[in-house]
Structure 1
């Protein structure tokens, strides 16, 4: 047996009539499409449904496989505790997925109640799984569940995990369907859950079009800035599903797409057309090519940051001389500098200086790049093999100046708070920081200053340098 159906389904609780109370009519095409998939899945009559969700208990360093006899969930957090599901887990298939993934060095964890008690939570059917299953359950009930919560891994690791899922399904000889649960951009409108971004609509359009074409390489090659600024939660679910489709030529049939509430809801079924050659090697080559481009950056600020940390991690030494490509202005000007590292769009390290501590911007970058990689207390030290997947940015600070709250703008100015020898800094134009109050609150928290303490404010601008 094999995976008999592949589907992208969103998970807005409001589409469930008991939650929506009439508001679901504003996204009626989404509800109708999900009912259509429920009917199709009834015709397939799978033994098991695999759901990959973004909203279960998520670990940063391992994909979580729910592992109890039964799994229960409700929409109590959305005001309707009477909408519930209880399903038996397919422990045989879950065990096989765990075994094969572990054998192939993909970090996975069996998430049972005993483990999650340490984190003061439990294994449940989260809304990311429950909403799609609600519509399936309306038409078909005779199935077991494999519940997977993805981790913030690289796209290629998620893809490889999907390949392991297909192998596990074939070995246990069950009929299975695969649901990639995920909403698209949450930044489509000002009144949406996140601040509006023009990247939201761009991401949704491009992502869905490439899925319709079955163009895996272009999906892997999507513009990083578009992806990181889209505010989506479904892409990683889809990349696991793409891995499960490895070796198959396919296309996508978009049943509906709506963005009424500022969030993109796409419902898509995937049609396997024929066998195809493996895409894994092409994907790996694309990753190496992207890294090569990073090493050849024309911006000397980010190029120096990458070279500094790379030299330290590969040779165990700091750069002793400033490279020839560094312009005179970086050698002669003294400024505070922050170096930030992001991995798959998530912060991996950030260290900086408000005021200069070395003789030049270049020396400041060399020092702070290493500090961001190995001495940020919030993260473990960066490993050499992570450099392929890390994006560098460098912020050069202007001289801080005293400020009043009404003079601040989180998109334009960074902020420094000071009180009784303590200080906290927050850079400007950070994702998710959309108001002055949020900006000040975070800076106070970083400094350990109470909101009601007396404190002073300073503002500064940054010149931001990012890798292409």
Structure 2
């Protein structure tokens, strides 16, 4: 039985946040609309806590990092506008995930900053967390950042550990895999243009629509490097957490209005 009340794959481009959309709100309008839908589904599921998987958080080389501070704060500036956020951390759930990962032989560590507890115990919120959470219910979070030094199998195994920990917790938990896809769609973008970007995103859309998330582990290293996605790792964690037979996918949208691909998909319990 799926222990997560709702799960989703979300993008994290800053302009998706309505407060940061700037003078061209139409540029990510489809994605923004579907983020509102995903946030509504998550709210309807009434989670006690949210686990957010992000590629842009504090990394520990060769280990998964799991937030265990009292709170997290973040600030974004884009299109001459500002957006800030503060979240409480579900430390009980974070510690439970870490213990389960250790029991399963998955390299992971909790992280903190400042003081062991209290208001100064605060870690940064990255944009990979802030963008999806802008649309989600205001509940405590646990943020997990993978390390690309680890194998795809390690990521699936962490997902399995998440599943066990959430089941043991007895809490209503939502899961968010924060993912942008190929980053080489535009010659004027920071990573330039590569035809692999379009092919990679087309194949990724097909795998998500057909529920074959595990097959992302079969992408060749040179193909990944050419396309420059940052979503495979978080998606494989989700795949481990919710196996094929329990994933009820509702694919909402794909677009690449700038240099990187954006996908919205939900997984109902």
Give yes or no for TM over 0.5: yes
**Are 2:245 and 1:210 aligned?**
no
Structure-2 residue corresponding to 1:74: 75
Deviation sequence 1:298-350 (CA, Å, 0-9, x none): xxxxxxxxxxxxxxxxxxxxxxxxxxxxxxxxxxxxxxxxxxxxxxxxxxxxx
- Select which of 127, 130, 146 maps to 2:142: 146
Structure-1 residue corresponding to 2:58: 57
Contact 1:8–1:266 (8 Å) recurs in 2: yes
Contact 1:211–1:251 (8 Å) recurs in 2: no
Structure-1 residue corresponding to 2:118: none
- Select which of 249, 253, 256 maps to 2:250: 253
Deviation sequence 1:413-463 (CA, Å, 0-9, x none): xxxxxxxxxxxxxxxxxxxxxxxxxxxxxxxxxxxxxxxxxxxxxxxxxxx
Note closer, same or farther for the CA distance 1:104–1:174 as it changes in structure 2 (3 Å cut): same
Contact 1:183–1:233 (8 Å) recurs in 2: yes
Contact 1:16–1:24 (8 Å) recurs in 2: no
**Are 2:28 and 1:32 aligned?**
no
Contact 1:4–1:44 (8 Å) recurs in 2: yes
Report how far residue 37 of structure 1 moved. 0.7
Determine the C-alpha separation between the residues in 2 that align with 1:262 and 1:214: 26
Structure-2 residue corresponding to 1:105: 105
Contact 1:188–1:201 (8 Å) recurs in 2: yes
Structure-2 residue corresponding to 1:48: 49
Determine the C-alpha separation between the residues in 2 that align with 1:100 and 1:233: 26
> SS at 2:219's partner residue?
coil
Note closer, same or farther for the CA distance 1:230–1:170 as it changes in structure 2 (3 Å cut): same
> SS at 2:27's partner residue?
helix
Structure-1 residue corresponding to 2:91: 91
Report how far residue 251 of structure 1 moved. 4.7
Report how far residue 193 of structure 1 moved. 2.5
Report how far residue 271 of structure 1 moved. 4.4
Structure-2 residue corresponding to 1:3: 4
Contact 1:257–1:266 (8 Å) recurs in 2: yes
Structure-2 residue corresponding to 1:238: 235
Q: How does 1:106-185 map to 2 (within 5 A)?
A: 106-114=106-114, 123-136=123-136, 140-141=137-138, 143-152=139-148, 153-185=150-182
Determine the C-alpha separation between the residues in 2 that align with 1:31 and 1:62: 32
- Select which of 226, 229, 232 maps to 1:229: 226
State the superposition RMSD in angstroms: 1.9
Q: How does 1:446-465 map to 2 (within 5 A)?
A: none
> SS at 1:248's partner residue?
helix
**Are 2:198 and 1:201 aligned?**
yes
Q: Which has the higher contact order (CA 8 A, sep 6+)?
A: 2
Determine the C-alpha separation between the residues in 1 that align with 2:81 and 2:73: 15
> SS at 1:73's partner residue?
strand
TM, length-normalised to structure 1: 0.53
Determine the C-alpha separation between the residues in 1 that align with 2:248 and 2:211: 5
TM, length-normalised to structure 2: 0.91
Contact 1:65–1:147 (8 Å) recurs in 2: yes
Report how far residue 227 of structure 1 moved. 2.0
Deviation sequence 1:151-205 (CA, Å, 0-9, x none): 1111100000010001000001011110000100010121223111111111111
> SS at 1:123's partner residue?
strand
Deviation sequence 1:371-422 (CA, Å, 0-9, x none): xxxxxxxxxxxxxxxxxxxxxxxxxxxxxxxxxxxxxxxxxxxxxxxxxxxx
Larger mean Cα displacement after TM superposition, 105-114 or 182-191: 105-114
**Are 2:191 and 1:190 aligned?**
no
Note closer, same or farther for the CA distance 1:145–1:196 as it changes in structure 2 (3 Å cut): same
Structure-1 residue corresponding to 2:119: none
Note closer, same or farther for the CA distance 1:77–1:111 as it changes in structure 2 (3 Å cut): farther
Determine the C-alpha separation between the residues in 1 that align with 2:244 and 2:258: 37
Determine the C-alpha separation between the residues in 1 that align with 2:244 and 2:208: 16
Note closer, same or farther for the CA distance 1:243–1:86 as it changes in structure 2 (3 Å cut): same
Report how far residue 216 of structure 1 moved. 4.1
